[in-house]
Amino acid sequence: MNMIKAGIIGATGYAGVELLRILSTHPYAQVSAVSSVSFEGKPISEVYPNLCGIRDDMLGDEDDVIQNSEVVFAAMPHGLSEPLARKCVDAGKKFIDLGADFRLTSPEEYEQWYGLSYKDPALHSKAVYCIPELHRASAAGKEIIANPGCYPTSIALGLAPAVKEGIVRVNSVIIDSKSGATGAGRGLAQNTHYPDCNEAFAPYKVASHRHTPEIEQTLSELAGEEVKITFVPHLLPVNRGIVSTMYADLKKKMGLEEVHRLYQEFYKDERFVRVMEPGKIANLRNVKYSNYCDISLHTDERTGRLIVVSTIDNMVKGAAGQAIQNMNLMFGLDESAGLKMIPPAF
Amino acid sequence: MNMIKAGIIGATGYAGVELLRILSTHPYAQVSAVSSVSFEGKPISEVYPNLCGIRDDMLGDEDDVIQNSEVVFAAMPHGLSEPLARKCVDAGKKFIDLGADFRLTSPEEYEQWYGLSYKDPALHSKAVYCIPELHRASAAGKEIIANPGCYPTSIALGLAPAVKEGIVRVNSVIIDSKSGATGAGRGLAQNTHYPDCNEAFAPYKVASHRHTPEIEQTLSELAGEEVKITFVPHLLPVNRGIVSTMYADLKKKMGLEEVHRLYQEFYKDERFVRVMEPGKIANLRNVKYSNYCDISLHTDERTGRLIVVSTIDNMVKGAAGQAIQNMNLMFGLDESAGLKMIPPAF
Amino acid sequence: MNMIKAGIIGATGYAGVELLRILSTHPYAQVSAVSSVSFEGKPISEVYPNLCGIRDDMLGDEDDVIQNSEVVFAAMPHGLSEPLARKCVDAGKKFIDLGADFRLTSPEEYEQWYGLSYKDPALHSKAVYCIPELHRASAAGKEIIANPGCYPTSIALGLAPAVKEGIVRVNSVIIDSKSGATGAGRGLAQNTHYPDCNEAFAPYKVASHRHTPEIEQTLSELAGEEVKITFVPHLLPVNRGIVSTMYADLKKKMGLEEVHRLYQEFYKDERFVRVMEPGKIANLRNVKYSNYCDISLHTDERTGRLIVVSTIDNMVKGAAGQAIQNMNLMFGLDESAGLKMIPPAF
Amino acid sequence: MNMIKAGIIGATGYAGVELLRILSTHPYAQVSAVSSVSFEGKPISEVYPNLCGIRDDMLGDEDDVIQNSEVVFAAMPHGLSEPLARKCVDAGKKFIDLGADFRLTSPEEYEQWYGLSYKDPALHSKAVYCIPELHRASAAGKEIIANPGCYPTSIALGLAPAVKEGIVRVNSVIIDSKSGATGAGRGLAQNTHYPDCNEAFAPYKVASHRHTPEIEQTLSELAGEEVKITFVPHLLPVNRGIVSTMYADLKKKMGLEEVHRLYQEFYKDERFVRVMEPGKIANLRNVKYSNYCDISLHTDERTGRLIVVSTIDNMVKGAAGQAIQNMNLMFGLDESAGLKMIPPAF
């Protein structure tokens, strides 16, 4: 079998370089070209010395990437993906967008939360938002995949069974998420300056984070009704990982065992979702550097609430790993190809 | 003025040694005796070399402490304070308990959550639970003060204005708290082993932490009705600090400015509570090593919820600092005496 | 090709569980059995929930491991390996010892530093101490491999070219090493209690660490004369990684370029040693989770000294990874089989 | 007694804001004015929210500070202090420079290491470099004090007794220092970006750091001969603290007890230097947030070397605290005034 030629636009961002790392050991794909606006003309190992002698690929421009690839991953800030996607579609290349520009099906919501409008609406009909465990059926034959955001992945996987099966009041959902500092990217900023971030902790963009409509879009589809949730992200002094602690009122009294069976059943065929035994608690330590999502379930009998804790590695299942899972899906491969990394104990 | 003679039982625990440190620079009190079951007969600076040459006090037993002090602080695991309090009361010494044994007014709740019963009920009528900002009026003339728990302090201060003024539905309250590792104490445990705790994050005792009834007791008093809340604590990979992110349904639509005014008014005479300007966000970085509680306010207009973020240093306002504030209150001193530490920037 | 059956004695220690993780993706080997004294009878995923659903191997005893394996890895405290090695040799199984019991060729030094004597001297003639880059020639046909210690690996690789080529005065060598907390193992201890280890830094076992004779043994062989060095290890508040900063007087004035060429030449065929370009500085960040050793070279022209910085992942090249490299060597495989992990950028 | 009016130029840098914090509780001094180029016209609490409600001083310009102060602290990058000092001297104000511009007595060395020349040589005769424990005698009557660098403070205090008493070969001295990230300042940089600095460790400016000539200047004075040392600093993933591990050949065999007595005698009247008992090891944990310098002594009998470990808080004894100690000295106060902070246990 020929190796799939995969290119990365924006390879020196955190999601981009993680894609490069994981794709480099993929059994059926190889990285064919990488680009960077800031570092064009340099080997990527000059920016990331961890790659020295392993991946010294020269950073080119986006056209180099598109020309030399069958599938193009774009890991760019929002607002830049439409023209890239257009070039890929016209050139018959598949396009996987790690940015936000194809995630929202509603142009109004995109405009409201991102302050930009879709310029090339025809593209959006060729695109699908895809958390494979929830949307793989609708991904068939699509040319563009919108790779989900990190928070929305942890949240949608954690709430899907409860919302889909209708055991919780969807408008009672409150989501308290905590993300490691790589979620803020490679760019320098005061709140990720080491002395500011270390031995510190706070929420940010309280009830105003751009992932909110993406979360609501998925939950609304699952619920079959419009859902509004409260979402508060926090910056956690670790490099990697997201923990989402989620609260919802149970429609009727349910024991933990019953909820657990429902989740087990929902995810019984999924390799990357681990529904933990009752009594266990999800910890980001156990999924770091892997494509797993660990989910633990808890009931607060005193108040009639369900509490779901969902954790992923924000850079793997929350970004690069899931993008590769989506690539596998697009090319009809085993979804876990290249993603068999076992989370280390420490 | 004579210096108040203050003794510490359990001085080698984290709360105990922090008491010793802060009391050592108190203008009107001095540490007269310290005890430790594990290290009796050794100087405390052998256990804590940071104190070497500064506080080389010999560790004695509890009777040494009681005999040599006007006020006794006990920083012991729960279940051990009643006999200590009895000795103090009988000897005419004031008693400030940093443990849990005098916090709950309901013997039933104490039994339910701690698995123990009150042996000396007469003592409890001499005791008062006291977060000074909320309960100082009722502390007058009491011989025993139950110093509040760390989580309950951050939570009660954060919710008091909203609950007291009746702007939120009290039974909608959800509390997602995160505490630094000193909260778990000096004792060795797997989850505070460095490689387990570093680069990790998870909740623990989900909806089952013993601080739950203490939180509900305070909120119920403030609300004038029985309150049941959902409380989930998390272990944060930092040494110090608690952040509580709290969610509640607003009874009626209220703007952020209006909520802010209400909080400002409520705390206008308080030195240690800082209600942050609208738009600012509380961060534990800004209160570390101080007795401050920072509170930031946020509204989620889309869902009609109030979000309060409250942060303290768990070892100061959450333990030793508040205990000294209570001592000041007991002795009629300025509450801030000895507590003027300015939080460092880093 | 049949998969090599590899067993792990002491699989629940940090080196053991890291072996299990890495071996699980080895193309030519599979983990056949695992044992643990403390957790016998439980699945290893109960001790390490990161392995849940991936490696739920039941923990047996040492005899289960030996019986079911072609090669046995022992990751045990010192003093326990001889009887295990004896059983393996008698049963015709290869034995790779991650402990210290076969590292020192001199029984006197072993006794002096470890306080124990060799009970089964015949075994030691079947054993070889092997950092593959330095000793692979002598490993041929040996039944027992003594896998080197973490510090000695970083140090020997960093100094070998300089010492072998005789460009430094060997008795001027001073080694200042810093190791992440996993180096201290899974056992609970005060200095690896999170609040003690976090935001802290200090040396330990100053000029008295047991790795000293192992370091000197290798350097003496390379130098062809007896070498005595000063070695001071420090505990670094990170999970993984060792950085050794090493100082030696140059016998005669040499430019950095010249030293660099000598190192490049020495390691020109080595996959796992990266001699960095002049001007670059080795950082443990770049080798974490990989089998690489990064070496940077520096000269202090003002004092005529050579400074070598060598960094490895203490649990991979410093323990489990190198043990697998040694297994590959024993079985005539490509040394890098199963060890192609690319160090992540973060 | 009137409070001394102290002003801070460069108050929003890390050393500046630490000065403000510590001076705020000084019994005999008060902060009269603060300035900042970047944030002029804003209250400092807007830049440092930890100060909110405590120090809301408006940031002015340098002339505001000079005019309103009796003593001016300047915490600026090198190259900017001479004109400030000139203004202060002309206006009869004392000047304490936390920068590097008055530290080196040799204009040639300043030019060589900083690439700048002294413009106002007359000023330098009014200035003295002062680590109080070593230079207080020569500080009498000086109008300008050059406050020492952080590394040089930890190193000079650690080596002074050995060098002054002539027990080590001064040109054998090798210094391996490790500093927390606040040492790099408030300015954003890639190597202090959280994901780059966390779980990472490396040296920087190997044998080329600008503190080298300052270290050598002090050691040369103490030794009475020209000293050349090797100095390698490392970036430590903690906020605060420096540990310097120092190696020197003993001129003749000396036992640890003998060295210890010599150090004890040398520092017997010093409040801020703690010579630890033989067998103890200095740890930055024990001096954080205090003005102490802890020194532990070790001998490597096998190689005839002395090993000294010296640790300080880089922002206190290494910057702001020592500057205040120097102010106390200038004004004839008890040197420890305002500096009685007890290092916390965690």
Phi-psi map region of B85: left, alpha, beta (phi>0 left; psi -120 to 50 alpha): alpha
**Å between D18 CA and nearest CA of chain B:** 7
* 8 Å CB contact between D117 and D109: no
Taking every pair of Cα atoms in chain C, the longest distance, rounded to a whole number of angstroms, is 62
B198 to C198: CB separation less than 8 angstroms, yes or no: yes
Backbone CA torsion sign across C208, C209, C210, C211: negative
Contacts of A309 (CB under 8 A, 6+ apart): A158, A243, A244, A245, A246, A281, A282, A295, A296, A297, A298, B202, B203, B206
Cα(C136)–Cα(C210) distance, integer angstroms: 24
> What are the tens digits of pLDDT across the range A277-294?
999 999 999 999 999 999
Q: Testing the interface with A: which of D48, D194, D285 to mutate, by most A Cβ within 10 A?
A: D194
Q: Search chain C and give the residue with CA nearest B239.
A: C195
Nearest by CB to A25, from C286, C340, C343: name it: C340
Q: What value does the mean pLDDT take over residues C234-248?
A: 98
Question: Residue C1 has what pLDDT?
Answer: 63
Burial class (CB in 10 A: 0-12, 13-18, 19+), D24: middle
Work out how many CB contacts closer than 8 A connect B with C.
Answer: 50
Cα–Cα distance measured from residue C244 to residue C294, given in angstroms and rounded to the nearest whole number: 11
Residues 6+ apart with CB under 8 A from B125: none
CA–CA separation, B198 vs C240, rounded Å?
Answer: 11
Average pLDDT on C297-317 reads: 98
pLDDT at A141: 85
Q: Which residues of C sit within 8 Å Cβ distance of A?
A: 14, 17-18, 21, 24-25, 48-55, 182, 199, 239-240, 274, 276, 280, 283, 285-287, 289-290, 315, 340-346
pLDDT score of A175:
98
What tens digit of pLDDT does each residue of B158-169 get? 999 999 999 999
**If you average pLDDT over residues B254-272, what whole number do you get?**
98
Which candidate in A88, A150, A197, A293 is catalytic? A150
Contact A197 D194 (CB under 8 A): yes
- The Cα–Cα gap between D88 and D67 comes to 9
* Res A33: pLDDT: 98
Residue D323 near residue D19 (C-beta atoms within 8 A): yes
Closest-approach residue (CA) in chain B for C47? B190
Question: Cβ A14–D194 below 8 Å, yes or no?
Answer: no
Residues of chain D with pLDDT under 70: 1
What burial class does residue A126 get, using C-beta atoms within 10 Å of its C-beta: 0-12 exposed, 13-18 middle, 19+ buried? middle
Query: Which residue from B171, B206, B236 is facing A307, i.e. has the nearest CB?
Result: B206
Residues 6+ apart with CB under 8 A from A2: none
Q: Quick check: A193 and D198 CB within 8 A?
A: no
Q: Where are the alpha helices (DSSP H) in chain D?
A: 14-23, 44-47, 62-67, 81-90, 107-114, 121-124, 132-135, 150-164, 194-197, 211-223, 256-266, 321-330
What pLDDT, on the 0 to 100 scale, is given for residue A1?
63
Q: Using H for helix, E for strand and C for coil, what is the string for D83-131?
A: HHHHHHHHCCCEEEECCCCCCCCCHHHHHHHHCCCCCCHHHHCCEEECC
For chain D, the residues whose C-beta falls within 8 A of a C-beta of chain A are 14, 181-182, 186, 188-190, 192-195, 197-199, 237-239
Q: Are D253 and D224 in contact (CB under 8 A)?
A: no
- In angstroms, rounded to a whole number, what is the distance separating the alpha carbons of residues C88 and C99? 15
| Chains touching chain D, criterion 3+ CB pairs below 8 Å | A, B, C
Q: Do A300 and B230 touch (CB under 8 A)?
A: yes
The single residue listed with the structure tokens 């203004």 is: D87
Mean pLDDT of chain A: 97
How many angstroms away from the CA of C264 is the closest CA of chain A?
13
Q: Burial, C7: exposed, middle or buried (Cβ in 10 Å; 0-12, 13-18, 19+)?
A: buried
Which residues of chain D have a Cβ shorter than 8 Å from any chain B Cβ? 14, 17-18, 21, 24-25, 48-55, 182, 199, 239-240, 274, 276, 280, 283, 285-287, 289-290, 315, 340-346
The first and second tokens of residue D217, run together, are 């200047």
**Closest residue in chain A to residue D47, using alpha carbons only:** A190
Q: Is C150 a catalytic residue?
A: yes
User: Which residues of chain D make contact with A238, given a CB cutoff of 8 A?
Assistant: 198
Pairing of strands A71-74, A94-97: parallel
How many Cβ pairs within 8 Å bridge chains A and C? 80
- Cα–Cα distance measured from residue B48 to residue B51, given in angstroms and rounded to the nearest whole number: 6
Does the pLDDT value for residue A338 go beyond 80?
yes
- Give the CA radius of gyration of chain C: 20
User: Which among A201, A300, A311 has the least Cβ separation from residue B238?
Assistant: A201
Distance, CA of A234 to CA of D208 (rounded, Å): 40
| Mean pLDDT, residues B184-189 taken together | 96
Banded model confidence at residue A140, pLDDT cuts 50, 70, 90? confident
The percentage of chain B sitting over the pLDDT mark of 70, rounded to a whole number, equals: 100
Residues in chain A whose Cβ is within 8 Å of chain C = 14, 17-18, 21, 24-25, 48-55, 182, 199, 239-240, 274, 276, 280, 283, 285-287, 289-290, 315, 340-346
Query: Which tens digit of pLDDT belongs to each residue from B126-139?
Result: 999 999 999 999 98
Kindly compute the dihedral angle of the four CA atoms of residues B274, B279, B280, B281, in this order, to the nearest 10 degrees: 100
CA C319 to chain centroid, in Å, comes to 4
pLDDT at A83: 97
The end-to-end CA distance of chain C, in Å, is 36
Answer whether C14 sits within 8 Å of B199, measured CB to CB: no
Could you give the CA distance from residue B200 to residue A180 in angstroms, rounded to a whole number?
A: 10
**Percent of chain A clearing pLDDT 90 (strictly above):** 99
For chain B, how big is the Rg over CA atoms in Å?
Answer: 20
In whole angstroms, what is the distance from residue D19 CA to residue D10 CA?
10
Give the pLDDT confidence score for residue B140 in this predicted structure.
81
Within 8 A of D178 by CB-CB distance, chain C residues are 178, 201, 234
Catalytic residue among D88, D150, D197, D293: D150
- For the CA atoms of chain A, what is the radius of gyration? 20
pLDDT tens per residue, range D230-247: 999 999 999 999 999 999
Q: Which of A50, A54, A199 sits opposite C285 (nearest CB)?
A: A50
B1 confidence band (pLDDT: 50, 70, 90): low
Which residues in chain D touch residue B286, judged by CB atoms under 8 angstroms apart? 49-50, 52
Measured between beta carbons, the chain D residues lying within 8 angstroms of B21 are 342, 344-345
The answer to whether the CB atoms of C181 and B194 lie below 8 A apart is yes
pLDDT digits (tens, 9 = 90+) for C184-205: 999 999 999 999 999 999 999 9
pLDDT of res. D52: 98
